[in-house]
Amino acid sequence: MSASQTSNPTSSQTSSLPVLFVNDLVLLPGMVVPIELDEAAQAAIDAARSGGHEADGRVLVAPRLEDRYASYGVIAGIERVGRFSGGAPAAVLRAGSRARIGSGVSGPGAALWVEVEPVDEVVSDAARELAEEYKRLVVAVLQRREAWQVIDQVQRLTEPAAIADTAGWAPYLGDERKRELLEQPDVEERLTRLLAWTREHLAEAELTDKIGHDVREGMETTQREYLLRQQLAAIRKELGEGEPEGSEDYRARVEAADVPDGVREALLREVDKLERSSEQSPEVAYLRTWLDTVLDLPWGVTTEDSTDVVAARAVLDADHHGLEEVKDRIVEYLAVRARRAERGLQVVGGRGSGAVVLLAGPPGVGKTSLGESVAHALGRKFVRVALGGVRDEAEIRGHRRTYVGALPGRIARAVKEAGSMNPVVLLDEVDKVGADYRGDPAAALLEVLDPAQNHTFRDHYLELDLDLSDVLFIATANVVEQIPGALLDRMELVTIDGYTEDDKVAIARDFLLPRQLERAAVGPEEFTITDEALRELAANHTREAGVRQMERLLARALRKAATRLAGDAEQVAVDVADLPDLVGRARFTPESAERTAVPGVATGLAVTGLGGDVLFIEASAHAGGSGEGGRGGLTITGQLGEVMKESAQIALSYVRAHAEELGVDPAFLDRAIHVHVPAGAVPKDGPSAGITMVTALTSLATGRPVRSEVGMTGEVTLGGRVLPIGGLKQKLLAAQRAGLTEVFVPLRNEPDLDDVPAEVLEALTVHVVGDVRDVVRGALEPVGAGSAAEGEAAAA
C-alpha cells in the first residue's frame, strides 16, 4: 500500500450470512433503519440470532431487484427486534461494511445463506479532497433545511468513505442512484458522482427557491398594497377627508369597461397614480378628468348600418329636393357596405373602411342639413363639428395634458358626443380654417381625413390610438380653391352648384313653407301662397344660389300674416300682387340691357363664394398721356387681383394686334384705355373674364354695343384661343337668374354641359367657342345698330 492510501480495517475474509432482501430501500454503511419483517425477513433475522454458522447476530441486507440478484449489500447488525405500533413485526438494523455477494450456501433454518466477501475500500488523497468538497455541499443542503444537529454530526466525519455513505440519507437521491453507490467499491468514483448529483440538486433547489420567492413577493406586494390601502382609508377617515372621490369606482369602471387591451393598461396606470395621490394634489383633478374622458368614449360601441338601399334613397329624397349626385354617392356607399356585409368582408378597425366626402357649393344649398339626412338614411348617430374660424391646431388634435384646462380635440369630442365609433361627422366650413403661430388646423386634418391612416388617429390629450376608420366624414365648403391641395386630395369632391328657379319653387313649397308655418304657429289653411308668387320671390326678390334668403322672406311674410290673423283676418292668401305689402318691393331686376346700352360694356359670368354671378366689364378711352402699358396706357380699377389685371393687359394686346380683323381703327387704341369692373369694394380675381374684356374693348373701339341678352366666360390667350374655366354650372345658373338668353363658353368646357339642368339649357342658347373672334362676332350688335357717334361719346 502506498503512503497516500489507507485501507478500511474491515477484514477481507469470506464468510456466510443469511440474506435479508428489502424493497424500496437501499441501505448504505452507517445507516440505522427499522425494517418491517415479512416471512423471509423473519427467517433471516431468526437465523442470525440463533448464533450458529458464523452469523453471530449479523445479516446481509441487499436490495431486491426484479431482473437479477443484487451483487452488493451491507453487513448489518441486529440492534433490536420487536413490533411497530401497528403490531407488525420489525427489526432495527445498523449497517456496517459494504460486502460483495457470492454464491449461495447451506445453512440452518429457513433463511437463504450466501457467501459474503467484505470490500476493502481504498482511499486516495484525491478522494479526501473530494470528500471535503462533498461535505461542504452536504452542509449547504442541510443549511437550506435548517438541520443544525445533523450538520454537527456531518462536520465530525473525517473518513471519505463514511462521508460518501451519508448519501443514503439524502432524500433527493433515488433508489437507482443509491444502488449505484452501493455497488461502487471505489470511494473516489462514488464521491465524484455524488458531487455532480448534489450540485445538480442545489441548482434546482435554488431555481425553485427563486421562483417561490418571486411568487411570494408578488403575493406579499398585493397583500401589502391592500393593507396599505385599508390603512390609508382609515387614516383619511380619522382626518375627516374620506376616500378620494371615485378612486375605487375608477378601478371598478376600468375593469368592467369594454376597451382595447392597450387602453386598459393606460387607464390602470392612471388609476394607480390617482390612488397614490393626495386629495390636495392638483394632479388629482387632471387625472379624474382624463379618466372620465377616456371612459366616456364609446370604445367598441357601433350602430348597425341600414342595409335597405331603397329605403335610404327614400329618406334622402324626402329630406332634400334635387342633389342627385350626392344622393347617388351615399346610396352607392351604402350598397357597397351591404354587399361586403353579406359576404363577410367587413373591415373592423382597419384601413379604408370609412369614407370622406366633400360637399362644395354656395351657401344655402343644403350642405349642412344633408349630413343629418345621410345619418338618418344610414341609421347612424350624427354630430356636427363647426370649423369656421378655427386657427388652433389643438382644436383638432387636442391639447397636451401638461396645459391647464387641456381638453381633447374636436374630433375626439365628436365621437364621444355621438356615443358610437361609426357616426356621421359633419366637418362644417372646412375651407374657412386658418393658420397662425398656433399651427395649421388644416394640416392636422390630414390624418383625420385619410382612410389609410385614421384607424390609428392619436389625440394629443388622450395619447391613445382612436380608430376613426369606420366614421363617415362629410366636409362642407363654399370655395374649394381655399382648401389646401393635400387636404383636398384626401376627400371625394361632390359639387353642389345651386338651384334653378323651378327647384327653388319646389323646395319652398315642400320644405321651407311647412317649416316656417310651424315656427309661426300658422296653419296651412290660414296661409296660402301661389307658385307664381314663389317664382317671383325666387326671380326678383332674391338672387342667390341657395334658398336661405328665400326662407327669410317666407318667414317675414308669415310674421305679417300672423299679425293679420291676430286681428280680424281669417285667412291670408298671397299672390304676386300681394308680395310688396308682405316682403317689400323686388330688389333685383334685369339690368343687362341698361348696362350694355352703350359701347364698351360686356356681361361676363363669374363664381364667388356665394355662387355664380354676372360681372359687367366697362371700358372707356380718352386722349392723354401714356400709362403703365406704354403707348396710350392702360388703367385698371375695381380691386382686381393680379391674374385679372393680366387678363386686361392680354385683352388689350390682342385687340391691338388684331385690330384690322376686328374692324378697329389702330389709332383709337393709342388713347389712354381705362378698364373698370364695378363693385369696387369687392375683391375679384381669376382669368375667366378674358374674353369679356376683349369683347368690351372691341365694342368700345368699334362703337358697336354688346347685345344685352348675351353673357360670356372664358380665358383668352395672346393668340385669341379661348381656354376652359371652372364653375360652368354655377355661371349658367347665374345667367338664367340675370335674364340672359345666350352664353358663350369655351369649347373645352363642352363636357361640363352634361351637369347643367335641362331646364337651364332650354332657357339658354349656349355657344361653345374656341376662338375669341367668334365671341366678338356673335356678341356685338350688327354694324349699323350702334352709331360711331355713340362710340366717340363713350370714348370721350
Q: Is residue 73 a contact partner of residue 182, using CB atoms and an 8 Å limit?
A: yes
Catalytic residue among 135, 178, 504, 731: 731
Q: How many Å is the Cα radius of gyration of the chain?
A: 53
Query: From CA 372, how far away is CA 669, in angstroms rounded?
Result: 58
627 in a labelled binding site: no
For 713, which DSSP code? Answer: -
DSSP string for 298-335: -TT--PPPP--HHHHHHHHHHH-SS-HHHHHHHHHHHH
Question: Which residue bears the cell 384646462?
Answer: 405
Beta bridge partners of 32: 94
Q: Is 731 a catalytic residue?
A: yes
Cell numbers representing residue 750 in the block: 363642352
Question: Which amino acid is located at 257 in the chain?
Answer: A
Q: Is position 381 annotated in a ligand binding site?
A: no
The 3-state DSSP class for residue 746 equals strand
- Please count the CA atoms within 13 angstroms of the CA of 88 that sit on its side-chain side: 10
**DSSP-assigned states of every residue in 538-590:** IIII---SSSHHHHHHHHHHHHHHHHHHHTT-S-EEE-GGGHHHHH-S-S---
Chain centroid to CA 429: how far?
24
Amino acid at 740: L
CA 30 remoteness from chain centre = 75
Strand 710-712 relative to strand 742-746, pairing: parallel
Torsion of Cα atoms, 642 then 644 then 648 then 651, to 10°:
120
Q: Which residues partner with 61 through β-bridges?
A: 20, 74
Residue pair 488/496 in contact by the 8 Å Cβ criterion: no
CA 449 to chain centre: 11
The verdict on whether residue 367 carries a ligand-binding annotation is: yes
Q: Is 423 annotated as a binding residue?
A: no
**Residue 301 phi, psi dihedral angles, 5° rounding:** -95, 120
364 assigned ligand-binding residue: yes
* Active-site choice (688, 699, 708, 729): 688
List the beta strands (DSSP E) in 251-311: none
Phi, psi of 68 (to 5 degrees): -165, 170
Q: For residues 766 and 729, what is the distance between their CA atoms, to the nearest angstrom?
A: 12
Query: Are 510 and 556 in contact, with CB atoms under 8 Å apart?
Result: no
Biggest CA pair distance of the chain: 168
User: Is there a catalytic annotation at residue 124?
Assistant: no
Q: Is 361 annotated as a binding residue?
A: yes
CB atoms within 10 A of CB 785: 10
β-pairing verdict for 15-22 and 113-118: antiparallel
Q: CB under 8 Å to 347, separation ≥6 — which residues?
A: 340, 353, 469, 470
User: End-to-end CA distance of the chain, in Å?
Assistant: 148
Known binding-site residues equal 361-368
Report, as residue numbers or ranges, the catalytic residues.
Answer: 688, 731
Known binding-site residues for ATP equal 361-368
